[in-house]
Structure 1
């Protein structure tokens, strides 16, 4: 990965397109699960989404392997895809971008109030 690829994100675009090509080879049930996984993992991404690429790769690999074994999506992911994605992103109750922004806002407000009050 070159500096220019890092700045422009072109490396991420290529990697994401490769994920999509792999996902199109999956059965329809698994393609739907892939769409759900992407939807539910997005809130855990950083500004660029770079931190999600290894997680997405692992999730897609799991789908490919289990589709090859003939298992159903429900057997693999269970009934709670959102919970599955939260566990992939760092465990149930892991912080998403809203939590981080809220904490940052609270720190900034507390700092301003401390300056005003004291």
Structure 2
């Protein structure tokens, strides 16, 4: 990864954060909770994948339609996030595999 890649990544992240800050306050709160949850148990490719920008797109569409954030995702943020990542390998999955592996085996 070169310096240009790092600079471009930072530009993209700052643009993403600006889009989140443009959302109504209730959407921002729920987005931050989703982000916190996904960073803890989320997919291994979360940082460079389309999931977070896709959530912002979904929220922007909800705002444009005049819907509240809970109308879009329901009352359980974790359940909504789990549904989003159900077919994706997560850090939690990798951890479970590592602790259930037999000692002395090199499982990659």
> TM-score normalised by the shorter chain: which range applies?
0.7 to 0.9
* Count of residue pairs brought into register by the alignment: 105
1:86 corresponds to which residue? 82
TM-score by length of 2: 0.78
Relative to structure 1, is the Cα distance of residues 48 and 37 closer, same or farther in structure 2, using a 3 angstrom cutoff? closer
CA distance in 1: counterparts of 2:95 and 2:13, whole angstroms: 26
TM-score by length of 1: 0.72
Contact conserved, 2:42 with 2:92, CA < 8 A, in 1?
Answer: no
2:14 corresponds to which residue? 17
Larger radius of gyration: 1
- Which structure has more helix as a fraction of its residues? 1
1:46 corresponds to which residue? 44
**Residues 52-98 of structure 1 deviation map (CA, whole Å, 9 limit, x = unaligned):** x301111000101111111011100100111111111235xx65313
2:97 corresponds to which residue? 103
Q: Secondary structure at the match of 1:71?
A: coil
Runs of 4+ aligned structure 1 residues displaced above 4 Å come to: none
Greater relative contact order (Cα < 8 A, sep 6+): 2
1:73 corresponds to which residue? 69
CA distance in 2: counterparts of 1:5 and 1:106, whole angstroms: 39
2:23 corresponds to which residue? 26
CA distance in 2: counterparts of 1:71 and 1:47, whole angstroms: 30
State the Cα RMSD in Å: 2.6
